[in-house]
Structure formats: structure tokens, C-alpha cells
Amino acid sequence: MATYSDYGTGIEAQYIELIDRMLREKRDYISTVDVLKRFQEEYNPKISLKPSLNKVLDKAKGRIRKCLQAQGLDFDEQMIDGFKEFKYPENVPEDLLSPLRKKTRKLRQKTLTDLIQKSQGLFPASWLAKFQLQAEEEINGSSASPIITFDSNEQLWNLDLLPTFYYAIRDKQVLKFTYAPYAKPERTFIFHPHYLKEYNLRWFVFGLAIEGEGKQYPSNNCALDRIVSEIEKVEKVKYIPSSVDYSTYFDDIVGVTRLKGHQKEIIEIEAKDYYTYMRILTKRLHKSQKVLQTWNEQSKTGRFSIEVIPNNELLGLLMSFEGHIEVLGNYRTKFREEVNRMYNVYND
């Protein structure tokens, strides 16, 4: 599927965005050569600076002109040293290009809808649920995101609840359900849903969970596969919006658990073989990952660091590398305790 920007697909859409931005920034005349030079800087350094070889630029300018003409306007143009320059008229509206954005949104939504219809039986149901949610985002005008960005395990329970929680978040709908934490009694929540997150093939809904006596449940997330009742709408309880910025909430952790009162730590990881070094290099443990030592053929090691708030997901991730890594720094003690615990299990 083609990648969409706000104004369509491909280079033409990039030119439309660039021309509009340059005209609004400069508030004066620009030339096609000015646009091409800027395009070289921002998008493609190899593109020709000869306007005659860039017909797509002319098409992009023509689409902007149609938007102006629909408002009874046109470019102000002048000739300087044989080059035509142009600028927006003084009274150009801020939403001049909104017709292009609306058209692109409809095309994108149609593409996603067609994909959903044609994918029955081809992709797992959980993927199709994500496709459907993506289509809903496009209808509502949000920016596009990748269609398939996660693995799927069809044995997981309650994947069909994804749309229910998505629409509840969108519509600010309070819900009620029974939840069964591992090794703890079941409990019934009045739940104010705020955010959906997939990690390690499992979906979580984040929000505010209130127990029977009005007490807030200490965890702010519920795994969908641990919900053991029908989900009911609660109409007489006012929805409480999130006080958390989920766009940055996960920046300092691996997975979904953010422990209260804990601080970030710098954790060093030494790879003990080249294969593991390349695994960590090419599939980063965390966005904060840095290379402290590139692969050394003499010592047969390479070293990385990450800066995160430790949690069980981090421990599980590091344990998955078994004896192919060595954990250094302050976190080494915690990691060694877990290794010793595993050793005792198998030390018959």
C-alpha cells in the first residue's frame, strides 16, 4: 500500500507540503529553483535543479493553484532574470489546502477498508481487528501509522475485545468488568479506559480502575486475556480522563510496567559472541540503547548500555539471552539473583 502524507502519495505530495510551507515562512516571492534546492536539502540530494526536468513540481503547484482558484484567488507572479517567481496573495486562508487533506483522508480510508475486505481468511482475526481500528483512525482524520506492526498469537484470549476498548476510549465511555490477576482473587472494576498497548503478543488496556468501595486499583493496566466477564457500559458514572501523557509514558521502560518511586538506571550489557552482539545491535533492547564498545575480535565481546526503570519485563528480556550476555553495573546484583534462582531449580 502506498505511503500517504496529508496531500496524497509520493513526491507530488512532498512538493505540495514544501511549497505551502516555504510560501508561508517567507511571505515573499519564491522560484521553482528555490523549491528544488530546498527539496534537495530535505528529501533527495540527487534531484535535478532544472525545472524542465521536474514536471511533478509543476503538477504540485497546479494543485495548489486549483485550491486558490476555488477561493477566487491565484498566485502573485513576476519574472526576474528570466525566472518566474510566485507567492501567495495577501489574504490566503490558513486552511487553503484542506480540500486536498480531505481527499487524501478518504483515499486512505478506502484503501484500508478494501484491505480489510480482501484479507478475510488471509490474515489472523487479530490483525484484521487492528486494520479496522486503523481505518477508524483515518475516518477521524488522524495521521497514518503502519498497518501490521506486531506478531499475532491466535491462542490469546479476548482479542475480540480490542474494538470494544478502542471505541470506549474514543467515546469516553465508562465500562464495568471482572478481572482475574494471576494468583490473586477476581475483582470487579468500574473502568475508565485511556490507552491501548500491545507488548510481546499481549494487549493491555490502560486506565483508571475503581473497585467496589471506591478504592483505586494500584495497577493502571489490565491484560485483555485476564478479563473473565462480559463488558458492560456504565452510563451514570462520569468519565475521568487520563492525567498521563502516553506519548512519553513508555519512554523509560521496557514493556508496560512502570514502577512507582523507581528511578532510571544505566544498565550495561556485554555480548559474549558476535551473533548476540549483532542481535542486540540490529534489534535494540530499548530506544535509549548506546554502543559502548563495538565488537572486539580479540576479546570476543561488544558492550551496550540502556537507561531505563527496571521492571520484570526488562529482567525477562535480558534472561532470554541466557549465557550469551553478561550484565554489568548496579543491575548485575538483581540479574545474578535471578540466575542463581534458576540454577537452584536445575541443580539436582
Report whether pLDDT(146) > 50. no
CATH of the domain at 37: 1.10.10.10
Tally of domains in the chain: 4
Share of residues in the chain with pLDDT > 70 (%):
80
Does 198 fall in a domain?
yes
Which range is least confidently modeled, 119-133, 158-172, 260-274, 301-315?
A: 119-133
Sheet of strand 174-179, all strands in order from the earlier edge strand to the far edge: 221-223, 202-210, 187-199, 174-179, 232-234
Q: Could you tell me which of 61, 141, 43 has the C-alpha nearest to residue 98?
A: 141
Global pTM? 0.56
pLDDT score recorded for residue 148: 38
Shared-domain flag, residues 278 and 338: yes
CATH of the domain at 175: 2.30.30
Share of residues in the chain with pLDDT > 90 (%):
51
Domain termination site, one of 77, 109, 139: 139
For residues 217-235, average pLDDT: 89
Shared-domain flag, residues 53 and 119: no
Q: Could you report the per-residue pLDDT of 297-338, keeping only the tens digit for each?
A: 999 999 999 999 999 999 999 999 999 999 998 999 999 999
Domain termination site, one of 204, 224, 249: 249
Beta bridge partners, 202, equal 199
Does 329 fall in a domain?
yes
For residues 158-177, average pLDDT: 85
Which range is least confidently modeled, 141-150, 285-294, 307-316?
A: 141-150
Burial class (CB in 10 A: 0-12, 13-18, 19+), 196: buried
Determine the structural domain holding residue 291 and report its residue range. Answer: 265-346
Shared-domain flag, residues 92 and 120: no
Does 149 fall in a domain?
no
pLDDT score recorded for residue 165: 87
Shared-domain flag, residues 10 and 91: yes
Interior angle at CA 25, CA 23 and CA 26, nearest 5: 70
Shared-domain flag, residues 163 and 202: yes
Shared-domain flag, residues 105 and 36: no
For residues 256-274, average pLDDT: 94
Shared-domain flag, residues 295 and 329: yes
For residues 344-348, average pLDDT: 85
CATH of the domain at 283: 3.30.70
Shared-domain flag, residues 224 and 302: no
Does 147 fall in a domain?
no
Does 150 fall in a domain?
no
Domain termination site, one of 139, 169, 191: 139
206 neighbors 198 (Cβ within 8 angstroms): no
Q: Compute CA 147 distance to the chain's CA centroid, rounded to the nearest angstrom.
A: 11
Which residues are within 8 A (CB) of 271 and not within 5 positions of it... i.e. 6 or more apart? 277, 279, 280, 295, 301, 302, 303, 304, 324, 325
Shared-domain flag, residues 231 and 280: no
Shared-domain flag, residues 117 and 167: no
Which range is least confidently modeled, 29-43, 45-59, 190-204, 245-259?
A: 45-59
Does 154 fall in a domain?
no
Does 153 fall in a domain?
no
Does 182 fall in a domain?
yes
Shared-domain flag, residues 180 and 220: yes
Angle between helices 55-70 and 98-118 (to 10 degrees): 110
CA 50, CA 54: separation in Å to the nearest integer? 7
176 neighbors 231 (Cβ within 8 angstroms): yes
CA 136, CA 128: separation in Å to the nearest integer? 12
Shared-domain flag, residues 53 and 91: yes
